[in-house]
Chain A
Amino acid sequence: MSDTITRLDVLKTYKLYVGGKFPRSESGRVYEVTDSKGEWLANVPLGTRKDARDAVVAARAAVKGWAGTTAYNRGQVLYRVAEMLQGRREQFAAEVALSEGIGPKKAAALVDATIDRWVWYAGWTDKVAQIAGGANPVAGPFFNLSTPEPTGVVGIVAPQAGYGHSLLGLVSVIAPAIATGNTVVVAAAADAPLPALSLGEVLATSDVPGGVVNIISGRTTDIAPTLASHQDVNALDLTGAIAADGPGAAAALEAAAADTLKRVVRPELDPFAQDWTSTPGTDRLLSFLETKTVWHPMGI
């Protein structure tokens, strides 16, 4: 036996995910991500307001194509994400364990639940119109049908708290928004961004068109207000807006969103108590939809 030569691991450069590509932050800056014991894990891009605006441009450009695909096609794409994530289960389990300071078994279970959550929403794409739309029996000789349509670009403040927030929580807010044909810009959890940035790699290899999901790491207080006030964002999910005050607080963001009358999903009363493993209902799925009603006369 020769002397043991320790092989040096190749570390990943974590990057943003915007428009289907993996850019660094335009700022050229990074910040340190540590585990629960304060040990250094990685440097990740310190995304800026400009990065967020670039992401909105990418998301807007993707709306037409994504909203225009058939629900069946979107379902298959979301299912493909589950397939790809299954193949990277170990990698994500490790990142979730480090991000949330939990054991490998629990982390693996959270990844499994995340895979199943993609499958759950894959099955919703071609059913949501059947529970959220329908014929209306108006009192007159008219055919009258209501159908849901995606609202457009959704800005998402990813969960920053609650058991499973770093990956399961993240997917639980992204998947329902894109299942119905929206595109999203996600402000990743500031202190647990690794699973989010790695998720971009999964999406990039899952037939999800570039721009449908855009993921920005950085200070939530920089990115969230940019999304909230942006003229070209149609809806805002404030799930991860946990700051007590300042421009990143939920109330301030909601007020900023009011200028453009964005549809807003408010955070839980106690975001830290949120358990992302619990079965999702349809609330989030129905949050980013517009209802369109078509009238047509009947007669010879």
Chain B
Amino acid sequence: MAKKKTIEEPAAQQRGGLFAYAPAPESPAAAGDIATSYGHFIGGEFVDSSGGEALKTVNPATEQVLAEFARGTDEDVDRAVAAARRAFADWSALPGSERAKYLFRIARIIQERSRELAVLESIDNGKPIRETRDFDIPTVAAWFFYYAGWADKLDYAGFGPNPRPLGVAGQVIPWNFPLMMLAWKIAPALATGNTVVLKPAETTPLTALRFAEICRQAGLPKGVVNIVTGDGRTGAALTAHPDVNKVAFTGSTPVGRAIAKQLAGSRKKLSLELGGKAANIVFDDAPIDQAVEGIVNGIFFNQGHVCCAGSRLLVQESIQDELLDALKRRMSTLRVGDPLDKNTDIGAINSAAQLARITELTDAGEAEGAERWSPECELPGTGFWFKPTVFTGVSQAHRIAQEEIFGPVLSVLTFRTPAEAVEKANNTPYGLSAGIWTEKGSRILWTASRLRAGVVWANTFNKFDPTSPFGGYKESGYGREGGRHGLEAYLDV
């Protein structure tokens, strides 16, 4: 058996000494004015809820309330669906080239207002400004730009001549990439001629409401996009609404399953993007430093709040020690803290509830016998935080090897042969994504062809592009978002 090497402690030196970072805070004021309370966006207007119930959204890094927003009632959902229905006839009858130009306008306005949106997203979600600035918001704009181009080219998309839209789409999105998930839902829906009612997550409604303003600046016809805020009850009212023709949901597998049951027997088209427990497979010939960067990106990007996160590291036994040493050294340099600091790598956990879930599962990992390790790092006094954590000695039966943690927690397993790697990688109910690290191209393709996962990254991880289809096998859901394939979910084909 390999012997354990001691881990050097470069972190202390880097933080306090030679390579100390000066704070580089982004100004929260760049987020623009945040109202004290918000209603819904229905039929092109900001309107009050029919009910009196308000929810609060907090900055997870400070626990300060940012704003109140309405909990959408059944009646609110009804009004929004009716507005979308009214708008559908004209919107779907527009020439595709005209619909395209609305979407291009939206893409351009998002680019123009990208700093504002990046800061607002960081404040509401807790994710680092570096990620919202460099990833989330640029991807949002790119998504609208890409699908704008499809609006007048649907005849070429491979679904036969003149494919028709479905009608009103009810869309429910999660809190991990709030505006990006909105873009993934709304852009293809509008390009294909549908109108939408979208419910943002209850902890992150602000960028969706800001998006409503962008729709107004773009001159989008009233009712084409409607935003109804709320919690799970609001979402359930929307997916169950009899005048909704299409349901798109991104979120947990249990909720996805419930929606599939709810829709059984209806004529609604359904697409689901659910949980994952991706294997990041590192073969013995992999470039270690590059693999370590990929592993870190795979599990600590966005605090691990990523359905396709590389939450299981499958490392070939012969390089286990070398890889783990390098990984731990790298983890020691991760900067956890103020999401608005441009140097921050890991921001705040999105909510107290999610923090509790991560804590519960990691406690279970220890109780079941896995070995836990985190670098020394100071966490802020207020807000929701979790240290980047790695578990070694994990067996396939452990909960931390089977259940989605949705936090900065990596479970390490080992394998000896490629066949064993594939076997273990596929041994979860999920099948969203996977990673492969090896210098050998033929091994990448051999492994990829055997993985039951919708997206396979080779010598990279967590890459997204509007031209590239994304979605899962098995209990990670069905349907694809992105690319030409992403149109199908919104067409009557």
Binding site for B on A (CB under 8 A): 71-72, 75-76, 79, 116, 119-120, 122-127, 130-131, 141, 143, 282, 296-300
Query: Chain B 138-162, CB within 8 Å of chain A: the 1/0 string?
Result: 0000100110111111001110000
User: Considering the complex, which residues of chain B in the window 83-133 have a beta carbon less than 8 Å from any beta carbon of chain A?
Assistant: 97, 100-101, 104, 108
Task: Give the complex CA separation of A131 and B153 in angstroms.
Answer: 11
CB <8 Å contact, B467 and A130: yes
Query: Chain B 419-451, CB within 8 Å of chain A: the 1/0 string?
Result: 000000000000000000000011101100100
CB <8 Å contact, A123 and B446: no
Instruction: Collect the chain A residues with CB atoms within 8 Å of residue B335's CB.
Output: none
CB <8 Å contact, B441 and A296: yes
CB <8 Å contact, A119 and B101: yes
B484 sits at the interface (CB 8 A) = yes
CB <8 Å contact, A76 and B145: yes
CB <8 Å contact, A131 and B152: no
Task: Give the complex CA separation of A79 and B144 in angstroms.
Answer: 13
With A72-B142, A122-B104 known, 19 other A-B pairs at CB within 8 A are: A72-B146, A72-B467, A79-B108, A79-B145, A116-B101, A119-B97, A119-B104, A122-B149, A123-B148, A123-B152, A124-B153, A127-B146, A127-B150, A130-B467, A130-B483, A131-B156, A296-B442, A297-B445, A298-B445
Q: Which of A72, A119, A127, A300 contacts B442 (CB 8 A)?
A: A300
B418 sits at the interface (CB 8 A) = yes
CB <8 Å contact, A300 and B443: yes
In the assembled complex, the CB of B318 is this many whole angstroms from the nearest CB of chain A, namely 15
Task: Give the complex CA separation of A300 and B466 in angstroms.
Answer: 31
Q: Which of B97, B148, B149 contacts A116 (CB 8 A)?
A: B97
CB <8 Å contact, B146 and A126: yes
Instruction: Collect the chain A residues with CB atoms within 8 Å of residue B145's CB.
Output: 72, 75-76, 79
Residue of A nearest to B441 (CB): A296
CB <8 Å contact, A298 and B97: no
Task: Give the complex CA separation of A143 and B458 in angstroms.
Answer: 14
Task: Give the complex CA separation of A65 and B158 in angstroms.
Answer: 31
Q: Which of A125, A282, A299, A300 contacts B156 (CB 8 A)?
A: A282
Task: Give the complex CA separation of A119 and B443 in angstroms.
Answer: 42
Task: Give the complex CA separation of A275 and B446 in angstroms.
Answer: 52
Q: Tell whether A300 pairs with B418 under 8 Å between CB atoms, given A124-B149, A127-B149.
A: yes
Task: Give the complex CA separation of A123 and B423 in angstroms.
Answer: 42
Tell me whether chain B's interface is mostly helix, strand or loop, or mixed.
helix
Task: Give the complex CA separation of A76 and B418 in angstroms.
Answer: 43
Number of interface residues of B (CB under 8 A): 28
Instruction: Collect the chain A residues with CB atoms within 8 Å of residue B104's CB.
Output: 79, 119, 122
Instruction: Collect the chain A residues with CB atoms within 8 Å of residue B484's CB.
Output: 127, 130-131
Task: Give the complex CA separation of A70 and B483 in angstroms.
Answer: 16
User: Considering the complex, which residues of chain B in the window 210-257 have a beta carbon less than 8 Å from any beta carbon of chain A?
Assistant: none
7 contacts between A and B (CB under 8 A): A72-B467, A116-B97, A119-B104, A123-B153, A127-B467, A131-B484, A297-B441
In the assembled complex, the CB of B277 is this many whole angstroms from the nearest CB of chain A, namely 24
Query: Chain B 472-491, CB within 8 Å of chain A: the 1/0 string?
Result: 00000000000110000000
In the assembled complex, the CB of A112 is this many whole angstroms from the nearest CB of chain B, namely 11
Residue of B nearest to A72 (CB): B142
In the assembled complex, the CB of A95 is this many whole angstroms from the nearest CB of chain B, namely 24
Instruction: Collect the chain B residues with CB atoms within 8 Å of residue A75's CB.
Output: 145, 149
Best-surrounded residue of B157, B466, B467 (most CB of chain A within 10 A): B467
CB <8 Å contact, A299 and B149: no
CB <8 Å contact, A143 and B445: yes
Instruction: Collect the chain B residues with CB atoms within 8 Å of residue A71's CB.
Output: 467
In the assembled complex, the CB of A136 is this many whole angstroms from the nearest CB of chain B, namely 14
Instruction: Collect the chain B residues with CB atoms within 8 Å of residue A300's CB.
Output: 418, 442-443, 446
Task: Give the complex CA separation of A127 and B145 in angstroms.
Answer: 12
Query: Chain B 266-291, CB within 8 Å of chain A: the 1/0 string?
Result: 00000000000000000000000000
In the assembled complex, the CB of A111 is this many whole angstroms from the nearest CB of chain B, namely 15
CB <8 Å contact, B441 and A123: no
Instruction: Collect the chain B residues with CB atoms within 8 Å of residue A143's CB.
Output: 445
Task: Give the complex CA separation of A279 and B45 in angstroms.
Answer: 36
Instruction: Collect the chain B residues with CB atoms within 8 Å of residue A122's CB.
Output: 104, 149
CB <8 Å contact, B156 and A123: no
In the assembled complex, the CB of A9 is this many whole angstroms from the nearest CB of chain B, namely 34
Query: Chain B 147-186, CB within 8 Å of chain A: the 1/0 string?
Result: 0111111001110000000000000000000000000000
Task: Give the complex CA separation of A124 and B467 in angstroms.
Answer: 12
Instruction: Collect the chain B residues with CB atoms within 8 Å of residue A119's CB.
Output: 97, 100-101, 104
Instruction: Collect the chain A residues with CB atoms within 8 Å of residue B149's CB.
Output: 75, 122-127
Q: Tell whether A299 pairs with B442 under 8 Å between CB atoms, given A75-B149, A124-B149, A282-B156.
A: yes
Task: Give the complex CA separation of A166 and B484 in angstroms.
Answer: 34
In the assembled complex, the CB of A189 is this many whole angstroms from the nearest CB of chain B, namely 25
Instruction: Collect the chain A residues with CB atoms within 8 Å of residue B449's CB.
Output: 298
Instruction: Collect the chain A residues with CB atoms within 8 Å of residue B101's CB.
Output: 116, 119
Task: Give the complex CA separation of A48 and B20 in angstroms.
Answer: 64
Instruction: Collect the chain B residues with CB atoms within 8 Å of residue A79's CB.
Output: 104, 108, 145
In the assembled complex, the CB of B10 is this many whole angstroms from the nearest CB of chain A, namely 36
Instruction: Collect the chain A residues with CB atoms within 8 Å of residue B153's CB.
Output: 123-124, 127
Instruction: Collect the chain B residues with CB atoms within 8 Å of residue A298's CB.
Output: 442, 445-446, 449
Task: Give the complex CA separation of A5 and B449 in angstroms.
Answer: 81
Task: Give the complex CA separation of A253 and B96 in angstroms.
Answer: 38
Residue of A nearest to B445 (CB): A298
Residue of A nearest to B484 (CB): A130
Task: Give the complex CA separation of A76 and B484 in angstroms.
Answer: 19
In the assembled complex, the CB of B463 is this many whole angstroms from the nearest CB of chain A, namely 13
Instruction: Collect the chain B residues with CB atoms within 8 Å of residue A296's CB.
Output: 441-442, 445
Query: Chain B 458-470, CB within 8 Å of chain A: the 1/0 string?
Result: 0000000011000
Instruction: Collect the chain B residues with CB atoms within 8 Å of residue A299's CB.
Output: 442-443, 445-446
Residue of B nearest to A297 (CB): B442
Instruction: Collect the chain B residues with CB atoms within 8 Å of residue A131's CB.
Output: 156-158, 484
Task: Give the complex CA separation of A123 and B152 in angstroms.
Answer: 9
Instruction: Collect the chain A residues with CB atoms within 8 Å of residue B108's CB.
Output: 79
CB <8 Å contact, A120 and B97: yes
Task: Give the complex CA separation of A120 and B99 in angstroms.
Answer: 12
Task: Give the complex CA separation of A297 and B441 in angstroms.
Answer: 8
In the assembled complex, the CB of B279 is this many whole angstroms from the nearest CB of chain A, namely 17
Task: Give the complex CA separation of A75 and B153 in angstroms.
Answer: 15
Q: Tell whether A120 pairs with B442 under 8 Å between CB atoms, given A130-B467, A300-B418.
A: no
Q: Tell whether A120 pairs with B152 under 8 Å between CB atoms, given A72-B142, A79-B104, A296-B441.
A: yes
User: Considering the complex, which residues of chain B in the window 398-420 have a beta carbon less than 8 Å from any beta carbon of chain A?
Assistant: 418
In the assembled complex, the CB of B157 is this many whole angstroms from the nearest CB of chain A, namely 8
Residue of A nearest to B483 (CB): A130
Residue of B nearest to A127 (CB): B149
Instruction: Collect the chain B residues with CB atoms within 8 Å of residue A297's CB.
Output: 441-442, 445
Task: Give the complex CA separation of A123 and B156 in angstroms.
Answer: 12
In the assembled complex, the CB of A13 is this many whole angstroms from the nearest CB of chain B, namely 34
Task: Give the complex CA separation of A28 and B362 in angstroms.
Answer: 80
Instruction: Collect the chain B residues with CB atoms within 8 Å of residue A123's CB.
Output: 100, 148-153
In the assembled complex, the CB of A30 is this many whole angstroms from the nearest CB of chain B, namely 38
Residue of B nearest to A76 (CB): B145
